């Protein structure tokens, strides 16, 4: 048997740029897609065939905000083993790439998290693309579930740790009203993907941060100043800016569906990205976990502490895509792009990830007509979910 045999994924509906198409096969060799061909292409006869049984073939999902999964929380133990477990838990929901998210904690643990992700990428842990550091440079007035006792301004050691050479993309959520513009400019000029979140900034301060290099917004609407008639706030700056990305948690709890549709209508196509903000219950039988010494319980998909404060979500990416179609009324092709090609572009991987096209990594989510994942392929390796 050849070391890298040619594989042909046949008898499926391939989701391209214009919706599902029948009569196509996807050829894969090793980790890469070779070609998308007609069902009678001669190369199929020579290939090993994988029958998709009439299911939908979507690009694998990319989630840029994943706090935990499979009963594991990245903050609890920022290690390669934790990352491996979280990635495996989300893989059953079609997620083939993620930025594990490390929320507000001590400087020592943040540096350990950066190192753990570098180590995981070097060890080729499937699905780990980079890291999202959410905090501790946030605003107390919009702290959400974060531990405000650990909030601080970035010092030179923080900046040096973030801009040091890393194995994958580094995304940083900060509050523009807390971090000086020169620091934002230094981070972005060094390649850090700086996004605004957990902020009490007004429109003017947010606009200045965008001009300094901020390129997006973490879980739009949540933990930021709202859009009102005379004060556009952070939300107004986000919707007004044509170039920035916005992460959307489409779970029906964080943001009302009508409010999400307003954002999607306001933003340029390609700038709204599905995220989960997932916590340990995703992919686990346990509905509870501990965060900052507080017991968080997931009920009906909502993760909250005893006071009712949201603490991430119980959402997975397959659920996010399904909700975008059923709750927001989006075409499946657009919902799929919001979970694949758009986040890939946000983190600079648009030429290798997020599309079913020749030369791209062979990452797929195979879904039935209920948009339930049946198989996940990551770098040409299939993982059956049923």
| Claim to verify: residue 275 and residue 362 sit in the same structural domain | no
Q: What is the pLDDT of residues 222-252, one digit of tens each?
A: 999 999 999 999 999 999 999 999 999 999 9
- Answer whether residue 332 is part of any domain: yes
| Claim to verify: residue 164 and residue 101 sit in the same structural domain | yes
Q: Residue 132 annotated as binding?
A: no
| Claim to verify: residue 106 and residue 254 sit in the same structural domain | yes
Residue 357 phi/psi, 5-degree rounding, is: -155, 155
Task: Please report, for the domain that includes residue 178, its CATH number.
Answer: 3.20.20.140
Measured in Å, how far apart are the chain's first and last C-alpha atoms? 27
Q: What is the pLDDT of residues 124-150, one digit of tens each?
A: 999 999 999 999 999 999 999 999 999
| Claim to verify: residue 158 and residue 250 sit in the same structural domain | yes
Q: Residue 145 annotated as binding?
A: yes
What domain range includes position 191?
60-346
Residue 177 has pLDDT above 70, yes or no: yes
Q: What is the pLDDT of residues 334-356, one digit of tens each?
A: 999 999 999 999 999 999 999 99
Query: What is the β-pairing status of strands 95-103 and 131-134?
Result: parallel
- Answer whether residue 113 is part of any domain: yes
Task: Please report, for the domain that includes residue 23, its CATH number.
Answer: 2.30.40.10
| CA–CA separation, 306 and 317 (whole Å) | 26
Q: Residue 134 annotated as binding?
A: yes
Q: Please list the active-site residues.
A: 277
Q: Residue 4 annotated as binding?
A: no
Residues 6 or more apart whose CB falls under 8 angstroms from that of 285 comprise none
| CA–CA separation, 275 and 23 (whole Å) | 32
| Claim to verify: residue 33 and residue 76 sit in the same structural domain | no
| Claim to verify: residue 21 and residue 146 sit in the same structural domain | no
Q: What is the pLDDT of residues 362-374, one digit of tens each?
A: 999 999 999 999 9
| Claim to verify: residue 198 and residue 311 sit in the same structural domain | yes
- Spatial CA neighbour of 244 closest among 253, 232, 235, 255: 235
| CA–CA separation, 342 and 355 (whole Å) | 10
| Claim to verify: residue 339 and residue 293 sit in the same structural domain | yes
pTM: 0.96
- What share of the chain has pLDDT > 70, as a percent? 99
């Amino acid at each position: 048997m050849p070391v890298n045999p040619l594989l042909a994924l046949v008898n499926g509906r391939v989701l391209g740029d214009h919706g599902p198409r029948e009569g196509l096969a996807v050829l894969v060799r090793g980790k890469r897609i070779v070609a998308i061909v007609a069902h009678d292409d001669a190369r199929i006869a020579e290939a090993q065939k994988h029958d998709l049984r009439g299911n939908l073939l979507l690009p694998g999902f990319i989630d840029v905000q994943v706090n935990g999964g499979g009963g594991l929380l990245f903050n609890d133990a920022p290690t390669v083993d934790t990352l491996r477990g979280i990635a495996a838990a989300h893989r059953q929901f079609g997620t083939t790439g993620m930025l594990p998210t490390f929320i507000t904690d001590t400087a020592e643990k943040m540096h350990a998290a950066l190192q753990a992700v570098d180590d995981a990428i070097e060890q080729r842990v499937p699905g780990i693309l980079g890291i999202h550091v959410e905090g501790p440079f946030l605003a107390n007035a919009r702290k959400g579930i974060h531990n405000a006792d650990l909030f601080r301004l970035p010092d030179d050691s923080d900046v040096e740790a973030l801009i040091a050479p890393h194995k994958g993309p580094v995304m940083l959520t900060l509050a523009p009203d807390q971090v000086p513009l020169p620091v934002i400019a230094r981070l972005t000029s060094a390649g850090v993907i700086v996004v605004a979140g957990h902020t009490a900034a007004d429109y003017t301060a947010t606009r200045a941060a965008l001009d300094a290099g901020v390129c997006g917004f973490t879980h739009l609407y949540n933990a930021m100043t709202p859009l009102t008639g005379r004060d556009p706030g952070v939300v107004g700056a986000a919707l007004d800016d044509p170039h920035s990305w916005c992460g959307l948690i489409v779970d029906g709890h964080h943001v009302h569906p009508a409010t999400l549709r307003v954002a999607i209508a306001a933003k340029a196509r390609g700038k709204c990205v599905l995220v989960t903000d997932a916590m340990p219950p995703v992919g686990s039988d346990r509905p509870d976990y501990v965060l900052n010494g507080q017991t968080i319980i997931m009920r009906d998909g909502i993760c909250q502490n005893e006071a009712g404060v949201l603490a991430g979500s119980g959402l997975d990416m397959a659920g996010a895509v399904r909700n975008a179609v059923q709750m927001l009324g989006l075409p499946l092709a657009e919902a799929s792009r919001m979970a694949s090609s758009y986040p890939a572009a946000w983190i600079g991987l648009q030429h290798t990830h997020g599309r079913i096209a020749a030369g791209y990594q062979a990452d797929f989510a195979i879904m039935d007509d209920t948009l339930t994942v049946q198989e996940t392929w990551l770098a040409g390796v299939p993982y059956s979910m049923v």
